[in-house]
A and B are shown apart, each in its own frame.
Chain A
Amino acid sequence: MTHTTAVRTLRRRRSRPVLLVLPAAILTAVLMVIPIVTTIVRVVSDGGTGLSRLFDLPNVGQVFLNTLYWTVGSVAGGILLGYAGALVLQSRHLRLVGVWRSLLMIPWIIPGVVGATVWRWTLSTDYGILNQTLLDLGLVAEPVRWLSDPGIVLWAVALIQIWVTAPFVMLMVSAALATIPAERYEAARLDGAGSLAILRHIILPAIRPTTGICVLTLAVWALNSFTIIWVATSGGPAGASTILPILLYQAFQNGDQTLVSAVALVQVFIGAVFAVFFARTTRTDLEDQR
């Protein structure tokens, strides 16, 4: 009798935590896993017609290249600017650090739609303040067609993505820099190390894990980014700023479910590669924290 009660309480102890996690897990399943499974099923049951139609699109090569350039460009820019921000805020020459940090965070906290809209106006060929400033400074001879020149537009929208995401990198790197003990700097200075040597041998190694997480996060954000390009250019002109999520949305608007599922499957595949990396980096985190 006592034995069974003991077993029963033990069992109850074990099942209760699972029950607590279950609602969130079921919700994730309904909103994420089932959709992905149905996407895969839909593509397979079509016999791959969606996929072959996707790869037969006349501009499909350009879309993939755009996605690659856009991702690499916006990640590199975001990392560089984020690092610059974090290092500047870390400097002992600086005062009012909190104020500057808050101000530099603003691009990240405003809604993406607002950011893209404001940039669309700032980059306007004839009425935009950026072109006017460049003209006034004599840096360009005639207005740059930021959002209507097919050769420039992808980099112009990448600029907006960098503007939005760099503060996130700054925040993460700042947090990592704060964990470096002050004695380490002092010891290096006593040994006669200059600022560059400190940067290379103390700061960069200490924030390497954070850099990994930031690159991964920014890459995933860029690959899945939709709002900024859609609001700024809708993927134009002539598809010059169309990346995979834009292609999917256009197919959705046309009611072309086969093509939507095909693009989604390609995105799932790319996402899965990144998810493996992500799981690897967070696994050590999980184990350290228990």
Chain B
Amino acid sequence: MRQLAGRVSARAAVWGTLAVLLTWSLAPIAVMVLTSFKKRGDIFAVPARLFPSSWTFDNYQTVLTSSSMPQALLNSVIIGGLVAIATLLFCFSAGYALARFRFRSARPLALFILLGQMVPLTVVLLPVYQIVSSLKLLDTASGVAFAHLAITVPLVTWMVRNQIAAIPYELEEAVQIDGGSRFDAVSYVTLPVCAPGLAAAGMFAFLQSWHEFLFASVMATSTASRTAPVALTQFAGEFDVDWGATMAASVVLTVPIVILFMVMQRYFTAGLTGGAVKG
């Protein structure tokens, strides 16, 4: 009897803690989504209520038709795409070498790239700004993308290295025994085998760029290259904040990411924990 009571209370404690954690994590999300459907008078109603008293799509219409948000979203997609492609090119070559070859400078080089992610972004803000400026790339998509490589290359090199190290080298040797070159082995065996992982790594780079605010806020100042996060702060930057439109824009910025994450979750978590925890 006592054991049963203990089991019931343990179950209640577990579900109770979960409920608290879910409320804490999701309440702001609920506020975001529900506010985006509120009418203006409703938003500034006191006392504040979670649910709209009448639902409206006006805020989404404002964001998608009469703001710079669509252009900013397009800019973010272009920059994110550039970052993903460049990151994969750099990191596949580096990751392959670090996983497959034993050479004297391997460890210093690996540590060097890894330590890149320890460097505070604000520290390099001014010099990177000046480099991008001297390349005449300020306020262009490629300039922002170039700066974003500072964030993605160290992390993704590590992800790719671990993925390749997990593929048995015997697969490549088999190709070489059959008369293929090392290049054949990599392109016909290693690449296809780790393609899902590489896709996840590319997606990861895209997301990092999609999220990034610091570099983008100083390097992409005009509508032509401004990214979505920067555009979002401009909704909420002035004294008179249009909270309905801001929340609608936030939803537009978030929903594709959440869907993407849910689909790719397995690869993401594997890549992430693989970098830091022994795999």
Interface residue ranges, A against B (CB under 8 Å)? 14, 16-18, 20-21, 23-25, 27-28, 30-32, 34-36, 38-39, 81, 84-85, 88, 91, 93-94, 100, 102-107, 109-115, 117-122, 126-129, 131-132, 135-136, 163, 167, 171-172, 175-176, 195, 209-210, 213, 217, 220, 223-224, 226-227, 230-231, 244-245, 248-249, 252, 257, 260-261, 263-264, 267-268, 271, 274-275, 278-279, 282-283, 285-286, 288-290
Contacts and interface: CB of A to CB of B under 8 A. Distances in A.
B194 interface: no
Given A117-B236, A175-B277, A31 B123 contact: no
A102 B126 contact: no
Interface string B115-137: 11011111111111101000000
B12 to A, nearest CB: 9
B32 interface: yes
A28 B261 CA distance: 27
B265 interface: yes
Interface in B38-94: 43-50, 89-91, 93-94
Contacts of A249: 122, 125, 214
Contacts of A28: 112-113, 116, 150, 153-154
B168 interface: no
Interface of B: 10-11, 14-15, 17-18, 21-22, 24-29, 31-32, 35, 43-50, 89-91, 93-94, 96-98, 100-103, 105-107, 109-116, 118-129, 131, 147, 149-150, 153-154, 157, 162, 165, 207, 210-211, 213-214, 218, 228-230, 232-233, 236, 243, 246-247, 250, 253-254, 257-258, 261-262, 265, 269, 272-273, 276-279
A7 to B, nearest CB: 16
A163 to B, nearest CB: 7
Given A27-B153, A129-B49, A268-B123, 5 more contacts: A24-B91, A32-B150, A127-B45, A132-B49, A275-B115
25 contacts: A21-B113, A23-B89, A24-B90, A24-B153, A28-B150, A31-B147, A31-B149, A31-B153, A39-B123, A94-B18, A109-B261, A111-B257, A113-B233, A118-B31, A122-B31, A127-B243, A131-B48, A132-B48, A172-B276, A248-B125, A249-B125, A249-B214, A267-B123, A271-B119, A283-B111
B201 to A, nearest CB: 13
Contacts of B211: 111-113
Given A39-B127, A114-B253, A127 B44 contact: yes
Contacts of B276: 172, 210, 213, 217, 282, 285
A67 to B, nearest CB: 12
Q: Which 10 A-B pairs have the closest CB atoms?
A: A35-B127, A17-B101, A20-B97, A24-B94, A31-B150, A224-B120, A35-B124, A113-B229, A17-B97, A175-B273
A100 B150 contact: no
Nearest to A282: B114
Interface centre among B111, B124, B157, B210 (most CB of A within 10 A): B124
Given A109-B257, A110-B257, A245-B122, A103 B153 contact: no
B90 A23 contact: yes
A282 B50 CA distance: 46
A110 B103 contact: no
Contact of B258 (A109, A117, A210): A109
Given A24-B113, A112-B213, A122-B27, A88 B122 contact: no
Given A25-B109, A104-B25, A226-B121, A35 B128 contact: yes
B279 to A, nearest CB: 8
